[in-house]
């Protein structure tokens, strides 16, 4: 099981994801979360989530990814792609 640190901007819908795996994944993910929280703005949410894969994480925690995907698709449509 992998650990993921998600930094989600509630205003823009942008999500940054770091994956941690291996024997010290939990400890490394928590340290990364604490570091991210120290510099996060008030519009950013920082979370540590467990999932077997990034695909599974995107399925179980879709709210972190739907707005980003929607913004990307809107941008493509506006560009005529």
Inform me whether the pLDDT recorded for 65 exceeds 50. Answer: yes
Looking at residue 38, its pLDDT comes to 97
Residue 47 or 80, more confident: 47
Report the pLDDT value the prediction gives residue 73, as an integer from 0 to 100: 40
User: What does the pLDDT read at residue 68?
Assistant: 52
pLDDT at 55 over 50: yes
How many Å separate Cα 63 from the centre of its chain? Answer: 10
Task: Evaluate if residue 39 carries a pLDDT over 90.
Answer: yes
Higher pLDDT, 43 or 75: 43
3-state helix, strand, coil in the chain (%, to 5): 45, 25, 25
């Amino acid at each position: 099981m992998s650990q993921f640190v998600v930094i989600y901007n509630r205003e823009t819908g942008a999500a940054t994801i770091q994956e941690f795996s291996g024997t010290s994944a939990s400890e490394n993910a928590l340290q990364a979360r604490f570091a991210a929280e120290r510099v996060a703005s008030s519009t950013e949410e920082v979370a540590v989530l467990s999932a077997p894969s990034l695909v599974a994480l995107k399925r179980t925690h879709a709210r972190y990814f739907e707005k980003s995907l929607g913004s990307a698709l809107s941008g493509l449509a506006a560009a005529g792609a």
